[in-house]
Structure 1
Amino acid sequence: MTDPLGKIDDLANALQELRLHVGPADLQVGGRKVNGQLYISLANSCLRNRAALLYGGMGANKTTLVNLLGSAFTGLSFDEIENLMVTGHPEQTEEKIVGFIDPRQWSCPENLASDERPDGIRVLWTPWARSRWKVINEINRFPSGKQNLFLELLAKRKVGYAGETLQLGDTCYFATMNPDFSSTYPLDEALLDRISISVPAVQPDFLAGLALAEREEEVSALASSLPRFSAEEFDDLPRLVADVHLESQVELSIISLLRDFTLCERAPAFDKTQLSGGSKPSRGLCSGCHYFNNPEACCWQIDEGLSDRVRQDLRSYTRALSLLLGLKGEGKIEVLRAVAPYVIWHRVSPSRTMLERPPYYGARRLEYVRDLVEKSINRTLNERGGMNMIFARAVDGDISPGEAMEELSGYDDPIAALDYMKALERMV
Structure 2
Amino acid sequence: MPDPLRKIEDLACALQELRLHVGAADLQVADRKVNGQLYLSLANACLRNRAALLYGGMGANKTTLVNLLGSAFTGLSFDEVENLMITGHPEQTEEKIVGFIDPRQWSCLPHPSGSPGEEPSPIQVLWTPWARSRWKVINEINRFPSGKQNLFLELLQKRKIGYAGETLELGDTCYFATMNPDFSATYPLDEALLDRISISVPAAQPDFLAGLALAEREREVSELAEALPRLTAEEFRELPGLVAGVRLDGQVELSIISLLRDFTLCERAPSFDKTQLTGGSKPSRGLCAGCHYFNNPEVCCWQVDEGLSDRVRQDLRSYTRAVALLLGLDGSDGLIEVMRAVAPYVIWHRVSPDRTMLERPPYYGAGRLQYVRDLVEKSINRTLNERGEMNIIFARAVDGEISSQEALEELSKSDDPIARLDYVKALERMV
TM-score range relative to shorter protein: over 0.9
Look up the equivalent residue of 1:245 and give its one-letter code: R
- For the 8 Å contact 2:84–2:130, the answer to whether it is kept is yes
Deviations 1:156-178 (A, max 9, x none): 00000001000000000000000
> In structure 2, what is the Cα distance between the partners aligned to 1:119 and 1:338?
55
Deviations 1:275-303 (A, max 9, x none): 01210001110011111111100000000
Q: Name structure 1 gaps, 5 residues minimum.
A: 111-116
- The 4+ residue runs of structure 1 with deviation greater than 4 A are none
**1:329 offset after TM fit, Å?**
2.4
Structure 2 residue 49 is the aligned partner of structure 1 residue 68: no
1:325 match: 327
1:59-208 equivalences under 5 Å are 59-107=59-107, 119-208=121-210
**1:102 offset after TM fit, Å?**
1.8
Deviations 1:320-379 (A, max 9, x none): 000000013231000011000000000000000000000000000000000000000000
Deviations 1:12-43 (A, max 9, x none): 00000000000100000010000000000000
SS in 2 for 1:342: helix
1:14 match: 14
| Of 399, 404, 409, the match for 2:407 | 404
1:340-419 equivalences under 5 Å are 340-419=343-422
- For the 8 Å contact 2:259–2:380, the answer to whether it is kept is yes
| Of 248, 251, 255, the match for 1:249 | 251
Look up the equivalent residue of 2:125 and give its one-letter code: V
| Of 304, 314, 317, the match for 1:315 | 317
SS in 1 for 2:65: helix
**1:106 offset after TM fit, Å?**
1.8
Report the TM-score when normalising by structure 1: 0.97
1:113 match: none
SS in 2 for 1:176: strand
Look up the equivalent residue of 2:245 and give its one-letter code: D
> In structure 1, what is the Cα distance between the partners aligned to 2:279 and 2:336?
36
**1:411 offset after TM fit, Å?**
1.3
- For the 8 Å contact 2:45–2:174, the answer to whether it is kept is yes
Look up the equivalent residue of 1:69 and give its one-letter code: L
- For the 8 Å contact 2:109–2:120, the answer to whether it is kept is no
SS in 1 for 2:167: strand
> In structure 2, what is the Cα distance between the partners aligned to 1:7 and 1:107?
51
**1:410 offset after TM fit, Å?**
1.7
> In structure 2, what is the Cα distance between the partners aligned to 1:402 and 1:290?
26
1:169-318 equivalences under 5 Å are 169-318=171-320
2:114 match: none
What's the Cα RMSD here?
1.2
> In structure 1, what is the Cα distance between the partners aligned to 2:216 and 2:85?
28
**1:108 offset after TM fit, Å?**
5.8
**1:104 offset after TM fit, Å?**
1.9
2:54 match: 54
SS in 2 for 1:340: helix
Which region of structure 1 is more displaced relative to structure 2, 322-331 or 296-305?
322-331
> In structure 2, what is the Cα distance between the partners aligned to 1:328 and 1:186?
39
> In structure 2, what is the Cα distance between the partners aligned to 1:302 and 1:357?
15
State the number of aligned residues: 422
> In structure 1, what is the Cα distance between the partners aligned to 2:157 and 2:279?
25
SS in 2 for 1:100: strand
**1:107 offset after TM fit, Å?**
2.9
1:424 match: 427
Look up the equivalent residue of 1:156 and give its one-letter code: K
**1:109 offset after TM fit, Å?**
7.6
Report the TM-score when normalising by structure 2: 0.97
Deviations 1:94-142 (A, max 9, x none): 00000001222223689xxxxxx98321100000000000000000000
Look up the equivalent residue of 2:348 and give its one-letter code: W
> In structure 2, what is the Cα distance between the partners aligned to 1:72 and 1:354?
43
SS in 2 for 1:203: coil
> In structure 2, what is the Cα distance between the partners aligned to 1:203 and 1:108?
54
> In structure 2, what is the Cα distance between the partners aligned to 1:328 and 1:365?
30
